[in-house]
Amino acid sequence: MTPEEFLAETNVPRETFDRLLAFDRVLMDWSERHNLVARSTIKDRWERHFFDSAQLVPLLPETVKTLVDLGSGAGFPGLVLAALLAPKGTQVTLIESTQKKCAFLREAGAAMALDNVKVVPERIESVGLGFKPDIITARALARLEKLLGYGAGIQGKNTRYFLLKGQDVEVELTEAAKSWHMEVVKHPSRTDPRAAILEIGNLARVR
């Protein structure tokens, strides 16, 4: 997928697309020195990373005001979502414990001219947000059971999760159900037939 094919597929506004192009330039610059994403995926990054992240947006509630991305790493899906949701004024918080990756996220966010992004350089287990997010996202961070444990520490009563999971999604769901009560909607991935997006609500620990 080329940038132009991404634009045709998503039909994002030109300003949003320009922000994603700015993100891509910073990503390519940093990738020459740091292993932010798997080098084998660089060539196909507009599908494997940008479009994979962007496919979340049509699934999100129209009313989303606050979104927290766990383990933001190279900015997928967090920075992509921040760009696509900027016209709505959605505030996006990126939680990342690695200082090098935080520096990258800040530089990319600045290049994208985003004012709706905050980078929190802390471990998820100890972070204090001061608010309960509408949405929690994560991609390629941890197995589902562990992810839900991370989220439970910051979620509110109405928080919903949108988690990008790979081919082991059914195994992870079975595993997580031993520790968590949850309502799950499984959306098919538009980038990988083996993958899925898990929409989770009403999360509570099994007593």
- Cβ partners under 8 Å of residue 149, min gap 6: 179
Give the integer Cα–Cα distance in Å for 78 and 54.
Answer: 10
Q: State the pLDDT at residue 3.
A: 97
- Cβ partners under 8 Å of residue 16, min gap 6: 83, 84, 86, 87
- Residue 47 sits in which domain range? 3-205
Instruction: Using pLDDT thresholds of 50, 70 and 90, give the confidence band for residue 90.
Output: very high
Q: State the pLDDT at residue 126.
A: 85
Instruction: Using pLDDT thresholds of 50, 70 and 90, give the confidence band for residue 207.
Output: confident
Q: Report whether pLDDT(24) > 90.
A: yes
Instruction: Judge whether 30 and 104 are in contact, CB under 8 Å.
Output: yes
Q: State the pLDDT at residue 119.
A: 97
- According to DSSP, the β-strands at 66-70 and 117-120 are unpaired
Residue-wise pLDDT for 99-142, tens only, equals 999 999 999 999 999 999 999 999 988 888 889 999 999 998 89
The CATH number of whichever domain residue 61 belongs to comes to 3.40.50.150
Residue-wise pLDDT for 157-200, tens only, equals 999 999 999 999 999 999 999 999 999 999 999 999 999 999 99
Overall domain count for the chain: 1
